[in-house]
Chain A
Amino acid sequence: MEQTLDSFRHAMVRVHDVAIHAVIGGEGSPLVLLHGFPQTWWEWRKMMPLLARHHTVVALDLRGAGHSDTPQGGYDKVSLAADVHGVMESLGFPLYAVCGHDIGAMVALALACTRRDAVTHLTFPDCSMPGWSQWEANFADPRNWHFAFHMKRDLPERLIFGREYDYVSTFIADRAYDHGAHASEDVEVFARAFAQPGNTRGGLEWYRAFPTDRADASNGRRHP
Chain B
Amino acid sequence: MSTPSESSKPMAGMSLRIDDMRFAFRRTGHSGTPVVLLHGWPQTSWAWRRVMPLLEKGFDVVAPDLPGFGHSSKPEAGFDKRTVATRLRALLKALDLPHVVLVGHDLGGHVAYAYAAQWPNEVSHLVFIESSLPGFGQEEAMDVSKGGSWHFGFNMAGDISEALVRGREHLFVDHFMRRETVGVFDSGSVTEADIAHYARALARPGALRCSFAYYRILPADRRDNAVWGRRPLPMPVLAVGAAGGYGPESSRTIRRVASDVRDILIERCGHYPAEERPAELATAIRDFLAVSPPASAA
Query: For the complex, what is the distance from the CA of A167 to the CA of B298, rounded to whole Å?
Result: 55
Q: How close is A170's CB to chain B, nearest CB, in angstroms? A: 5
On whether the beta carbons of B153 and A148 are closer than 8 Å, the reply is: yes
**Of B16-24, B30-38, B164-172, which binds chain A?**
B164-172
The verdict on A139 contacting chain B, using a C-beta distance below 8 Å, is yes
Q: How close is A182's CB to chain B, nearest CB, in angstroms? A: 16
The verdict on A9 contacting chain B, using a C-beta distance below 8 Å, is no
Query: For the complex, what is the distance from the CA of A136 to the CA of B154, rounded to whole Å?
Result: 18
Q: Which residue of B lies closest to A145 (CB)?
A: B153
Q: Which residue of B lies closest to A169 (CB)?
A: B160
The verdict on B191 contacting chain A, using a C-beta distance below 8 Å, is no
Q: Which residues of B contact A197 (CB under 8 A)?
A: none
Q: How close is A217's CB to chain B, nearest CB, in angstroms? A: 15
The verdict on A151 contacting chain B, using a C-beta distance below 8 Å, is yes
The verdict on B175 contacting chain A, using a C-beta distance below 8 Å, is yes
Q: Which residues of A contact B165 (CB under 8 A)?
A: 159
Q: How close is A128's CB to chain B, nearest CB, in angstroms? A: 12
Query: For the complex, what is the distance from the CA of A146 to the CA of B159, rounded to whole Å?
Result: 14
On whether the beta carbons of A170 and B144 are closer than 8 Å, the reply is: no
Q: Which residues of B contact A166 (CB under 8 A)?
A: 160, 163-164
The verdict on A181 contacting chain B, using a C-beta distance below 8 Å, is no
Q: Which residues of A contact B150 (CB under 8 A)?
A: 145, 148-149, 151-152
Query: For the complex, what is the distance from the CA of A67 to the CA of B157, rounded to whole Å?
Result: 30
On whether the beta carbons of A145 and B157 are closer than 8 Å, the reply is: yes
Q: Which residue of B lies closest to A170 (CB)?
A: B160
The verdict on A163 contacting chain B, using a C-beta distance below 8 Å, is yes
On whether the beta carbons of B168 and A158 are closer than 8 Å, the reply is: yes
On whether the beta carbons of A163 and B143 are closer than 8 Å, the reply is: no
On whether the beta carbons of B171 and A158 are closer than 8 Å, the reply is: yes
Of residues B144, B158, B160, B168, which shows the largest number of chain A Cβ atoms within 10 Å of its Cβ? Answer: B160
Which of A149, A163, A171 sits near B154, CB closer than 8 Å? A149
The verdict on B5 contacting chain A, using a C-beta distance below 8 Å, is no
On whether the beta carbons of A145 and B154 are closer than 8 Å, the reply is: yes
In chain B, residues 131-178, which have Cβ atoms closer than 8 Å to a Cβ of chain A? 143-145, 148-150, 152-154, 156-160, 163-165, 168, 171-172, 175
On whether the beta carbons of B171 and A167 are closer than 8 Å, the reply is: no
Q: Which residues of B contact A148 (CB under 8 A)?
A: 144, 148-150, 153-154
Q: How close is B134's CB to chain A, nearest CB, in angstroms? A: 13
On whether the beta carbons of A139 and B153 are closer than 8 Å, the reply is: no
Query: For the complex, what is the distance from the CA of A163 to the CA of B63, rounded to whole Å?
Result: 37
Query: For the complex, what is the distance from the CA of A32 to the CA of B106, rounded to whole Å?
Result: 50
On whether the beta carbons of A149 and B153 are closer than 8 Å, the reply is: yes
Query: For the complex, what is the distance from the CA of A76 to the CA of B200, rounded to whole Å?
Result: 40
Q: Mark A157-173, 1 if CB is under 8 A from B, else 0.
A: 01110010011001100
Q: Which residues of B contact A136 (CB under 8 A)?
A: 145
Q: Which residue of A lies closest to B168 (CB)?
A: A159
The verdict on A147 contacting chain B, using a C-beta distance below 8 Å, is yes
On whether the beta carbons of B143 and A160 are closer than 8 Å, the reply is: no
Closest 5 A/B residue pairs (Cβ): A145-B153, A148-B150, A139-B145, A148-B144, A159-B164
Q: Can you spell out 8 A-B residue pairs with CB atoms less than 8 angstroms apart?
A: A135-B145, A145-B157, A148-B144, A148-B154, A159-B165, A163-B163, A166-B160, A170-B159
Given A145-B150, A159-B168, 13 extra CB contacts under 8 A:
A135-B145, A142-B156, A145-B154, A146-B157, A148-B149, A151-B144, A152-B150, A159-B165, A159-B171, A163-B163, A167-B163, A170-B159, A171-B160
